[in-house]
Amino acid sequence: MDNLRVYLATWNVATQAPEEDVTALLGLSNRSSKDRLPDLYFVGLQEVKSQPQNMLLDALFDDPWTNSLRTVMAKHKYIKIKTVRLQGLVLNVFCLAHHLTHLRDIQTQFTKTGLGGMWGNKGAVTIRFNIYGCSVCVVNAHLAPHDHLLKERIADYNTIVSSQTFSVGETTRIFLHDYVFWIGDLNFRLADPNVLTGTEIKRLVSCGELKSLLDKDQLRQAMALGTAFSEMTEQIPRFPPTYKYQFHNSTYDLKRRPSWTDRVLYFVHKNVYENITLQAEQLSYTSLPQYEQSDHKPVVSEFVIKVFSDYHDRLVGFNPIGDWYLDEMNSVFCNIDDDVKISPWDWVGLYKEDFSSLDDYICYVYVSTTPLWIENSGGQSNQTGNTLKLTFPDTAPRLPGRYQVVYVTNSPVSVLGISAPFQVYSPRVQTLDWQQS
């Protein structure tokens, strides 16, 4: 078995635009060059500004929070695999570039729980995929708020679990995956509001009496009773309640009783494979009090999970790509493994060499399963045996530089191959021979 490091972060950003550097949020500010970087990142945000004009722009481009994350992650050679959004709920997934061709069957889901399921101001967004033979599912949720709505929070959880389905093998439900991580603003509060007033909670926190407060934590009580999250494990929080703070400082705002609303939980199907025991080792679980632009503090956690070291992925390899020239039709040849089932909806995208998101393709051509030349998305494709020739239109790319191509399947998405970088040059100089008379 091999190890993968998984980093999870959850933050209710209270509709604020990104103001503070997110490097510490991603655990990158104190890592030395010798420290191993996480292989996978999952960043769940709640209450991202979602007014109609914001939603329209974010449908066309990444939202400002995703852009701020990408800017930092790109410096460390991470690629954004997917963003899934439901109004103010956003879940971003990144991986180190060398893992890209080991991602299989990427699917997303969402559940609306606000106003009885009619509105997406509360609910969950989920992403699942396979990597090195193991399935991973991550849920980012924002459940019903306020002290007195415990039953609604529990109902939200059970609605999310029962309603979300996937179409990948045996992992049709959240808890059929090998590894499940559940993050978000779960909004569970502290019981006994008449005894544990905001002032009393603040006093106990200042005295370091976190255990006595956690004994009254609604989430841990619900887990013990089996009404919600009983399938999951949570390391005991050793950080102060993460809500509610005054904006732009770290003083509690006692308009709401301080509570651990922001959490990270996990589940492992340990013995699903014969003679193999899966494992998730939690390395850290903490809040980040230095962030002050929201009334919540971010919560982060890092894990090491076990995956198969000898797992064979179906792959598409690219032949060495020669020089391309602008204003010409240029081609690539790729070799298809026997276990790869080609779909006409598969596509090969053209990317800049330093691309930081799967969504950053400049153009793409569809793949054909027939041996004939067929026009596809402005280009041509031709399959001969296990070698596929793909021709890109003369309008792509438009600038000289270094590029790569990536083979991607659809329904569900898998990344099967990526080429080595190649050079695109300015148009060739055309010479004309004049016959003198």
**Residue 222 one-letter amino acid:** A
Sign of CA dihedral 148, 151, 154, 156: negative
166 three-state secondary structure: coil
Q: What does the pLDDT read at residue 370?
A: 47
d(CA 135, CA 357): 22
Degrees, nearest 5: CA angle 134-30-93: 30
> What b/e string do you get for 287-317 counting C-beta neighbours within 10 Å, with b at 16 or more?
bbeebbebbbbbbbbbbbbbbeeeeebebbb
DSSP string for residues in 242-278: -B-B-TTSSSB-TTS--B--EEEEEEE-TTSSTT---
* CATH of region 316-425, choose from 2.30.30.90, 3.30.420.280, 2.60.40.2840, 1.10.10.410: 2.60.40.2840
**Token code pair at residue 59:** 């449908």
What is the value of pTM for the model shown? 0.93
Where do the structural domains in the chain lie, given as residue ranges? 2-307, 316-425
Sign of CA dihedral 394, 400, 406, 410: negative
Indicate if 316-425 has the same CATH topology as 2-307: no
* 72: CB partners within 8 A, 6+ apart: 21, 22, 23, 26, 28
- Pairing state of beta strands 78-86 and 299-307? unpaired
What are the residues facing 351 on neighbouring strands?
404
pLDDT tens digit at each of 437 positions of the chain: 999 999 999 999 999 999 999 999 999 988 877 789 999 999 999 999 976 655 555 556 789 999 999 999 999 999 999 999 999 999 999 999 999 999 999 999 999 998 776 677 899 999 999 999 999 999 999 999 999 999 999 999 999 999 999 999 999 999 999 999 999 999 999 999 999 999 999 999 999 999 999 999 999 999 999 999 999 999 999 999 999 999 999 999 999 999 999 999 999 999 999 989 999 999 999 999 999 999 999 999 999 999 999 888 889 999 999 999 999 999 999 998 888 888 889 999 999 999 999 999 999 999 875 443 333 444 555 554 478 899 999 999 999 999 999 999 988 999 999 999 999 999 988 665 555 54
* Cα→Cα distances 158→121, 128, 152, 172, 197, Å: 17, 19, 10, 16, 29
**Token code pair at residue 37:** 């970087």
The neighbour count for residue 396, using CB atoms within 10 Å, is: 21
Contact call for residues 326 and 424 (beta carbons, < 8 A) = yes
CATH 3.60.10.10 fits 2-307, yes or no: yes
d(CA 401, CA 403): 7
69: nearest Cα among 98, 107, 42: 42
* Cα→Cα distances 397→61, 240, 319, 357, Å: 20, 52, 20, 18
